[in-house]
Structure 1
Amino acid sequence: MNENPLDLIRYHHHAQLEDATLLLAFSGWMDGGDVSTGTVRRLVTVLNATPLAEIDPDPFYIQNVPGPMEIAALFRPHIEYEDGLIKQIQMPENQFSVDVTSNLVLFVGKEPHMRWRTFRDCLFAVCAELGIKKILFVGSFGGGVPHTREPRLHVSCSHADMLPAMEKYGVHRTTYSGPGSFVSYLLSQADTADLRMTSLVAEIPGYLTGANPASILAVTRRLATILGISPNLDELRGASTEWEMQVSTAVEQDGELAENVRQLEEEYDNQLLLQDEET
C-alpha cells in the first residue's frame, strides 16, 4: 500500500507562516504523567490555537491483536456506555492547531504503531505546506526525580550545532541505548526534509501514576521560555498546587515510600551541587 501522504492530510484551513515551529506531542511511549500530551494540549487551550488540520489515523494503528484479553485491551479503543446507549468511543486522533501570533503549530497525536515512514511523510508535508522549519518534541518518562523537585530535561537534536544553544535552559544531553520511539526515528530523518529538530524529554517521578500537573506546569514554563511565549498558566498552577498537596500527604502516610522519596531528594540535590562545582 503506497498512499500519497497528501491524501491522508485534511486541512480545515491554511495558514501563512514563515520559519515557524512545530511543537509535537504523542501519547504512548514517552507520555509518562501525560506530560507530553498534557503540556501541548494546555498550550493549545491557553493560546486559543485554531484547529488547522489532521492526519487520517486509519493506516497507522492496530485496533486489536490476537491473544489474552489483557494484551488485546492495550490496543482496543476505549468506549463508554450509559443507560444502554453508547456515549463515547475514543479512536486515535492526530490534530494540528495553529497560533499565528506565536508563529507556532501545535500537534497532539498518538505514536503510530506502523508505517512510520508514511507518518513521517505526512508530518514533513505539513511542514513544507505551512513554512515550518523547526520541530520541537516534548516527552516524558518515569525516572528518579522526586515529586518535590523540578523534572530533569534531557535534550537530543538533529544537528550537533544545536546542542550548545540548549544548554542555557538547564538541560542534560541524552545518553540512552534501548528500544526506540517514533520521535527518535523522526530525529534521524529531519535533515532529509531540511528541518531542524529538538527533542526535550522530562524525567518525572517514576513512583507515581496518572496525570502529573506539577510536571506539566514545569515543562510548560520551560517551553514558554524556549519558544518566547507568555501563556496564562494560573489555572495550571492551581491544579499543580492541589496535586502536590495530595501526593505529599499520601507519601507521608507510607513510611517506606516517604523514606525512598527522601533518598531521591538527597541524590537530586547532591547532583545539583556537583554540577554547580563543575561550572
Structure 2
Amino acid sequence: MPHDSLITFDPPLLENGAMLLAFSGWMDGGEVSTGTVNHLLSTLDTRKVAEIDPEGYYIYNFPGTMELASVFRPKVRYEEGLVKSLELPENTFHCDQSRKLVLFTGKEPNLNWRDFGDRILDLARMTGVQRIVFVGSFGGAVPHTREPRLFCSVSHEDLKPEYARYGLKFSDYEGPSSFVSFLLSRAPQVGIRMASIAAEIPGYLEGANPLSIEAVTRRLAKILDLKVDLAAMRLASDDWTSRVSELVEKDNKLRKHIAKLESAYDDALLEAAEE
C-alpha cells in the first residue's frame, strides 16, 4: 500500500495531544462509537486536517448470494438515469486545536490492517498526539433501564490506575478480534499510549442508543477534560428510555426477560458494593 493514502490538510502540531477514535461496523452497536464522536464533532470547534483514501482497505465485491454481496458493495443513488451519489467509505480526522484533540471517524478496514493502522499512527505523530482513546460498544446483558457498564482495555499496565478512577472495568474478553485490538497491540511499539472503552448495551435492541451515547460522552468528558453540555443528550436519553419501555410493556415475554436482567444487574451492584 502506498503511504500517500494519508492525505493531510495542514494539520497542527499539538502539545501532548489526544486522539479519539470511532469506527462504524464492529463495536458500533447502538451507534455508540460513531454517535459519541459525531456528537462531539457537532459541538466542538473543529476543522478537517486529514483523511485516509479508502482504496485498498475495503472489500467491495464479495462472492456469494446477492444478499451477502450487497452488504459489502458501496451504495449508489440515481436520479433520472444519472449517478447522484456513490458512498465509498470515509475516514476523516478533525482537530480542535484549542482542546489539543484530534477526532477520527471511519469504517473498520476489511484489508491491510497494519497499513491502515500505520496511517492513523502517522497522523498521530504529525500532530503530537501522545494518547489515543477508542470508544465503542458490544451487545450484552444490561437492560435499557440501567446505566450501561463500561469496560476498558489499555496498551500499558501503568494506565490501569488512571482509568480505574473513572469506574471502568477491565476486559477479560476472548474471541474474534476488532481492528481496535490490533491497534492496541501496535501502540506500545510506536510510543503511543492507548485505551479502548466499550459500553455494554442491551443485546435485544437495534438502532441508535441515546442512553449509552450520553453515558459514554459523560465519561469521556472527564477523561479528556472536556466541557460538554449534556442537557440535550440527557433529554434525548430519557425520551428514548420511555419510548422503549412503552414498547416493552406490550411484549409479555420480553418484559419478563428484562425483569430478570434488571434483577441480575442490581444484584451485581450490591455484590460489588460489599467487596
TM-score bracket for this pair, using the shorter chain length: over 0.9
Look up the equivalent residue of 1:123 and give its one-letter code: I
Q: What's the Cα RMSD here?
A: 1.3
1:153 aligns to 2:144 (yes or no): no
Residue 191 of structure 1, aligned match among 183, 188, 192: 188
Quick one: distance in 1 between partners of 2:148 and 2:78? 38
Look up the match of 1:17: 14
Structure 2 unaligned regions, length at least 5: none
Residue 26 of structure 1, aligned match among 23, 28, 35: 23
| Cα drift, residue 82 of structure 1 | 4.8
Look up the match of 1:109: 106
Look up the match of 1:272: 269
Look up the equivalent residue of 1:15 and give its one-letter code: P
Deviations 1:119-142 (A, max 9, x none): 111011101111011010101011
CA contact (8 A) 2:57 2:110 kept: yes
Look up the match of 1:92: 89
Look up the match of 1:35: 32
- Per mean C-alpha deviation after superposition, the further-off stretch among 16-25 and 76-85 is 76-85
**Relative to structure 1, is the Cα distance of residues 250 and 84 closer, same or farther in structure 2, using a 3 angstrom cutoff?**
farther
Aligned pair count? 275
1:228 aligns to 2:251 (yes or no): no
Look up the equivalent residue of 1:165 and give its one-letter code: E
Look up the equivalent residue of 1:9 and give its one-letter code: L
- Per mean C-alpha deviation after superposition, the further-off stretch among 76-85 and 119-128 is 76-85
Look up the match of 1:249: 246
Structure 1 unaligned regions, length at least 5: none
Look up the match of 1:61: 58
- Per mean C-alpha deviation after superposition, the further-off stretch among 42-51 and 230-239 is 230-239
Look up the equivalent residue of 2:38 and give its one-letter code: R
CA contact (8 A) 2:11 2:49 kept: yes
Q: Secondary structure at the match of 1:169?
A: coil
Between the aligned residues of both structures, percent identity stands at: 51
| Cα drift, residue 11 of structure 1 | 1.5
| Cα drift, residue 81 of structure 1 | 4.0
Look up the match of 1:121: 118
Quick one: distance in 1 between partners of 2:217 and 2:61? 34
Residue 256 of structure 2, aligned match among 259, 269, 275: 259
Residue 8 of structure 1, aligned match among 5, 10, 14: 5
**Relative to structure 1, is the Cα distance of residues 236 and 90 closer, same or farther in structure 2, using a 3 angstrom cutoff?**
farther
Look up the match of 1:239: 236
CA contact (8 A) 2:31 2:209 kept: yes
Look up the equivalent residue of 2:193 and give its one-letter code: R
Q: Secondary structure at the match of 2:215?
A: helix
Residue 141 of structure 1, aligned match among 121, 138, 142: 138
Output the TM-score relative to the length of structure 2. 0.96
Quick one: distance in 1 between partners of 2:126 and 2:224? 21
Q: Secondary structure at the match of 1:93?
A: coil
Quick one: distance in 1 between partners of 2:256 and 2:75? 37
Deviations 1:165-194 (A, max 9, x none): 211111111011111011101111101110
| Cα drift, residue 86 of structure 1 | 4.1
CA contact (8 A) 2:13 2:126 kept: no
**Relative to structure 1, is the Cα distance of residues 233 and 90 closer, same or farther in structure 2, using a 3 angstrom cutoff?**
farther
Look up the match of 1:215: 212
Deviations 1:43-66 (A, max 9, x none): 111113211110111110011211
